Structure 1
Amino acid sequence: MKNDYQPPRTNMTSQVILGLLVIGMGLLFLLDNLDILDMHRAFSFWPMVFIVVGTVKLCDTATPGGRLVGGILVGIGVLLTLDRMDIIEFSWRAVWPLALIGLGAVMLVKAARGRRLLAGSSKDGIADDVIDSTAIMGGFERRVTSQAFRGGEITAVMGGCSLDMRGCAIQPLDEAVINVFTFWGGITIKCPPDWTVVLQGTPIMGGFEDKTMAPPDGSKRLVIRGYAIMGGVEVRN
């Protein structure tokens, strides 16, 4: 089967945003050391982190669920920032109900998308060839047994995702790409021993770890792309 799935490539816009964030933090500390700026006041705008992380997710996703998660993070960051600026009254007590509403919206989007995939799939289970898993403030475990795996997207926000693909297969001389995004969470991927794993992720106060054994040949490649922000991504056999 030809791999016509086109995963989202690492977006230059998201890299620019992260680069500007690091430069901005460095400038803030420099101005504090020069007694030009009081960092205590600067740190009062820490909710901007949610806006930056949400924007990175929006720039690096190709699924409706991913865009919804990015929008939720941006929305929470905007509301908390406006509260810090005394423009509106908003507290963490309101964040949890909004997060639950967002989680329900993600479930509805995935349910609708799942019905469309099921309607368009054949007996060989094409719907499992491309994955789309999301965990928000909770855990998600899934086993995939597709014999023509093509890749997909995994998102973990304040939660964990575990994907068992040891029963999967990639067509010889083919490549599957999984786009990952974790923020205050973790992602674990188990793959067959004959797959070559290539990590192309960007860790930010987090990490990517490859615990797989080297296969006898490189005819089957699994490429892991994306971001681990204050979280971790682990791939093992």
Structure 2
Amino acid sequence: MHLYAIGDIHGQLGLLQAAHELIAADMARHGPGRVVHVGDLVDRGPDSRGVIDFLIRGLSRGEDWVVLKGNHDRMFSRFIANPHEPEPGLRAELSWLHPRLGGADTLRSYGVANAGDRPVAKVHAEAIGAVPAEHLAFLAARPTLHLAGDCAFVHAGIRPGVPLSQQVERDLVWIRDPFLQATESFGPLVVHGHTVVDAATHYGNRLNIDSGAAYGGPLSAVVIEGREAALLTPTGRLKLIPAH
């Protein structure tokens, strides 16, 4: 059994399409497999709307895809529901429309301009009219954990010492430490994004595939067989050797 995973997309539709082309080429050689997207579909990049449209279309035509929720997807949904409700995973001085978060870039892809520079109430009213209900329903329905093969796929990570069945959404989409510092086995190989690394990295107990597409880096697509993984490249598979 082999599985595929794609890292944090952040509105980079062209990179997402290219990642799926790499996966299609690998499937042509090795057979079909499920594709898991580890979340952060939106923010910072230029075409969050296009990314969501692409994923909805793929799922509607029956592609064997899983699309998880990331913290940025959660912030988008929560802004539309109530722009004044604090996000528990975010520092109090920040908001989804802060330039560091990229919410204004997402709203721009829906035709809402200058969202970071105008009163929140006006921006929110425009967003309500601009974001399709289908997109909001899609984001609301995203799971936060997917188990397949020897892997647990999540956006950010899991809280060490807590059974998978008892993990909470805030940790699954926001956690860094103590997850990133843990060296013990989590049971399954945890495949995640959320924390940017220079290149997809296998740590033995976890596999981080957020290679910084939000900041001009590549969008990583990997293939996983058992607990072994390889980065997909235009010239084929590049095995990822565990760092520990």
TM over 0.5: no
Identify the structure with bigger relative contact order (alpha carbons < 8 Å, sequence gap 6+): 2
Q: Give the structure with higher Rg (CA).
A: 1
User: Which TM-score applies when normalising by structure 2?
Assistant: 0.30
Bigger strand fraction: 1
User: Which TM-score applies when normalising by structure 1?
Assistant: 0.30
